[in-house]
A and B are shown apart, each in its own frame.
Chain A
């Protein structure tokens, strides 16, 4: 059956009353955590992992996908209305969006963000429908050496792209890989790095790792440098757009989608790079009044990046579903969720669980429409959430973090591990280590190990088996290039007698 027919079947799954409710729950939760400072979609999905066991997998993933998309919508509300930079994926939106808001154009900024997110999300999901089966067809012949090379590329790309400093990105990655080693080796049953603590034999649960690094780490970080001035929230009127706003928005929406989808699908692409690119392209293309407005609240600078970050979320799902390769922290947690259900994303998933895959994809179209309704008329209501007193907000985040971590094994040891990981997350934030490489390392590390050992077993110890397929060889060469690039740049800069120019 072609993917269109499968998608129609997917709609049959997604449009049952139960799954519509899960989608609604997901997008509402997603918008909520996107709006609220301090928590994001990655942590929310992680927190929900322990309580989704009673739910069939299709419904759970419909909800998770809703959270992912919803988080992208909600983040824009915060960055437009609040006078401070927020989540990294919507930081760029704050540049022009907050200035628009302060000139009394908050409603228009929110509208172009919401409608742009809808347009981009819908187009990008359609692209996902078109491309994911193509990647599956390509990947069906992949051997363990190819999957290992893919993992290595994801490691090096996310470490180098997400941080200004390669060594800090790699430090984060290796911390994650080391945490992922803890527990019994799956192939031989040997305990590794458990320090004799029996609770560590099963490894550290991904819920505890994600919630510790994100939630507890954020709470400690905020405690160390809390902004004591009350948050300055710009009031919103009714969200609407005038004719000129539409005329100025639609092209940036499309360009943002064109940037966000492919970059989101690349390992390490994430949402930051395409939003930044979209912002600078729109700035360069701006003419006439828009050019003068840039820096003082140009609508193009909101429309483009917001479309880009939503399109990147759909792009991220291509490698996640078709290869089992996470390219963002949220995708990594979703991969862990698949594993908890005993499912392994990749070509086999499309073969064995078409109802799950296509139900989830179809629900993305549904969720996008729901999000438009939730965000456009209800924006003033979401904005009120921004006035929650910060001590209450962070105390609440820690309370739910503790609840989620305890619920995994009913173990106090887990709570202490949660705190230790929180302290690590705090230190990583304090010194600018990106968190995503650590999360990807924790989740993808054990899989990389299995594939590596499988490949070497096939090659009976001959290391050249790792580059025996052209795909693996190219991917490993790219990884090496990513690691060497800063060095090459530094040498060149020295030759020219200039200090090295940092990447954007």
Chain B
């Protein structure tokens, strides 16, 4: 039987080793042993390794976490990786293009892409909602609340 949870357990274990290794070169001038900036990371890293080992053992012995219950989740369904991948691509694409395109265009594409990936149809309505929402958030947060969002291509227009 495949055990996908092993990946998460290994991540905990691996991160524990990373915390120890990643702070090994941290030095503080004149810090007495036990009180320097390495002390707490050593505690956390060691705890993580211990917990990680127990977690791996638990999964190998057949232990399984119950998927979280949520209003819109069918916890008995098979994982739909295609949708997850689409959402991931849309989001990372949004992050990389945000400064270039500006909030209004990028956020409209983000909303459109994710809603489409999740199964929204009626593209004309979806497009209209996407644009309305990105323009509205820009106006409220930038003009109203003084939050900084990139203008991008439309910088001079709005």
Contact = CB atoms under 8 A, between A and B. Distances in A.
B105 interface: no
Nearest to B117: A223
Nearest to A186: B37
Nearest to B5: A431
B71 A449 contact: no
A225 B75 contact: yes
B15 A178 contact: yes
Contact of A192 (B7, B37, B98): B37
B72 A226 contact: yes
Interface in A379-423: 389-396, 398-400, 402-403, 406-407, 410, 412, 415-416, 418-419, 422-423
Given A419-B92, A449-B40, A222 B47 contact: no
A11 B64 CA distance: 50
B73 A222 contact: yes
A30 to B, nearest CB: 17
Given A171-B9, A412-B96, A407 B141 contact: yes
Interface in B9-55: 9, 11-12, 15-16, 18-19, 22-23, 26-28, 31-37, 39-41, 44-45, 47-48, 51-52, 54-55
A221 B68 contact: yes
A174 B110 contact: no
A54 B146 contact: yes
Contacts of A443: none
Given A390-B118, A412-B95, A461-B35, A38 B28 contact: no
Interface residues on B, range: 35 or more
A398 B68 CA distance: 19
B69 A178 contact: no
A188 B31 CA distance: 9
Nearest to B53: A167
A37 interface: yes
A449 B141 CA distance: 36
B147 interface: yes
B141 to A, nearest CB: 7
A423 B16 CA distance: 19
Contacts, number: 260
B129 interface: yes
Given A174-B12, A453-B35, A225 B73 contact: yes
A82 B72 CA distance: 10
A231 B16 CA distance: 42
B37 to A, nearest CB: 4
A165 interface: yes
Interface string B69-97: 11111110111110110111001101110
Q: Is the interface of B mostly helix, strand, loop or mixed?
A: helix
A423 B92 CA distance: 12
A81 to B, nearest CB: 11
Given A219-B114, A453-B39, A389 B120 contact: yes
Contacts of B115: 391-392, 394-395
A259 to B, nearest CB: 22
A193 B37 contact: no
B118 A181 contact: no
Given A175-B15, A192-B26, A222 B149 contact: no
A190 interface: yes
Interface residues of A, number: 84
A200 to B, nearest CB: 12
B62 interface: no
A178 B48 contact: yes
A432 interface: yes
A165 B12 contact: no
Contacts of B1: none
A412 B98 contact: yes
B141 A225 contact: no
Interface stretch (A2-10, A83-91, A370-378): A83-91
A433 interface: yes
A431 B65 contact: yes
A185 interface: yes
Contacts of A390: 72, 118-119
A168 B80 CA distance: 24
Contacts of A400: 137
Interface core residue of A88, A91, A192, A219 (most chain B CB under 10 Å): A192
Contact of A391 (B28, B55, B119): B119
A255 interface: no
A175 B114 contact: no
14 contacts: A174-B15, A178-B15, A224-B83, A227-B72, A227-B74, A391-B114, A391-B119, A395-B112, A395-B113, A402-B110, A403-B103, A412-B98, A432-B68, A449-B40
Given A37-B71, A85-B71, 14 more contacts: A38-B71, A50-B147, A171-B12, A188-B31, A190-B37, A195-B22, A395-B120, A398-B114, A407-B141, A412-B98, A415-B98, A430-B79, A432-B65, A432-B66
Interface of A: 37-38, 50-51, 54, 78, 82, 84-86, 88, 91, 163-165, 167-168, 170-171, 174-175, 177-178, 181, 185, 187-188, 190-193, 195, 216, 218-228, 231, 389-396, 398-400, 402-403, 406-407, 410, 412, 415-416, 418-419, 422-423, 426-433, 445, 448-449, 452-453, 456-457, 461
